[in-house]
Structure 1
């Protein structure tokens, strides 16, 4: 474990968070819920304060030539502040996972065994220019009994500082310990310290682009849950209904292109007769198609694809298209290029559906449904901190239960071994 002197940027915050975590793990649900409600009320009451800080961040981002899409994610307005406050109130209505019994039994020797959900302790979140993540992460960590160390981007630092000040003050007035939510400095060195703070930080979750996530995964000395990158595929089987395929593919690609559950590659069985119609629908919707020779032969708007296209998480109105000989060929493509996020099949054949769902190795598989449904809210889990694309400790949408670990509680009556 590094000494806090080796963590000059985050050491003090980590110590406060560690002390807070010991209190948070035993707080009753009603205290946590009251704090969440107080935080939501405070955000609404102090909207002007938050927006003033945000205006400075937005002004600086525009002056630096930041892409419009990034500026839009950074910008807050009264409706967006009200939205993040509402998200905190929604957490109040969700079940508290702490104390849930995952499994239990009475052993042959009479011991009572229970596996019980407990908080991780101190959770670090590293994320980019989305101020709403500041509030979401703080709320999720609080409800699951964890202290939060938040490291947002430099471009949103003033906004994040204002948000954390509101959250921390309201939370402490409602009974939370000092250090329950801390904002870390927004520089590269603070990330390095966070990732090396083994013994002070129990878990780090990166939420952002591929380069951020890969840095965290490569450098972390503390446990990490890898999230986010979504090279998602939709496979249209020869048995698919044309209208259904068009609806699913269009929604998967075009309903919102800047998110990780947006489809980036379309795979189509070579005997699908409606391929030209399907490609025309995408082109008419404004999608630029990057395809193989067979896709280009089916529609003259398709431009040549390269390996970079098969690997791409475009996050734009672009889509790669490959015509495959059969379902096994589609599975081979997915195995080679998928990021393990979400894959979808459009098919009427029960055999094809069974082979696809068994054959892909991703966090979520959609059958005759859009990839855009991979989301904690859509799954009925409530809020989420991200989508895990790894296999340990959690996979798929990371909701409240996924922000806990477990402890075995074994009760006897003087048992000895």
Structure 2
């Protein structure tokens, strides 16, 4: 395995060769990064200055009443005073590995340090990442409560984060990534998470992006699953001026299962892009995917969900659905479900819908004495909330529901509606 400096140099070279994705590439057809480049200029690669956030500032942005181990990053750097690390969980900040253990740092930055990094954005993150969470659970270890990773953007400049989650055989964990922001100047969050699940390991991964409208957000989640492992994801995108999240799941071991749920709610001129790819490589694997979008004003949403069933993946069971609700005639969604099958013995289905609020349902609610505004809000929230029902932590679900509800354009108080 190459030394850290050699790896970083190679990653930057790979980025310079590949460059950033452009709209000439099919997977980036509807999302142009030129908007980021023109806004940030050279600060695209300039690390944000150390933050001046206080503990009270951090607590005000954190999810309340959440019983979890909390690790806080501000502008790409660990805030030790606001973090509580679980004892014996083999959890180490990436910044510590970068300073003391180059071999382990390289492991956190790449699946295979000798493999070429063809993705320019991923290569840049590998070269520039300064901090993140590295969690290694030994076989059979089950964490007694979730790990809550909070990142706050408060300054201009870029935050490059790299998280690595390695779960051994039959290990079990729940990880929450929460991206928040209070910055008044443009900035970039570039966060990559690598997940490796051993045989029969179980991971629930909740990801909430609710950054300020001055922030740009590029995220990536790569998951490798062994035999009979289980991965559950909830990806919620509410904030940022332009946001893109790529999720790639590799069902590499027989009997592996994954469930991907997501919600995106862009308003104004926000741009929210979700790309997912699930590769069924082994027999008898199961995948379920359900993404929903609520778009208002001149917002633009993109959803591309791709399922690939490889040769030899007999007994595959896959289902994908994407539903979108347009609250404005100027809102736009580009949705593309894809199913690629290279094997005969499979069960697979996918579907996509785009529509507006149902007039019959609105009429029924108004006939029951509910105002038109409240009826529209109730139906819209019910549509969005369908993908949130699987969130197992009440405090997290309520926090997301309140944040999502506050984005709706009808004016009813979120607290009053939620009760």
TM-score by length of 2: 0.31
Higher relative contact order (CA 8 A, sep 6+): 1
Structure with bigger helix share is: 1
TM-score by length of 1: 0.32
Structure ID, larger Rg: 1
Structure with bigger strand share is: 2
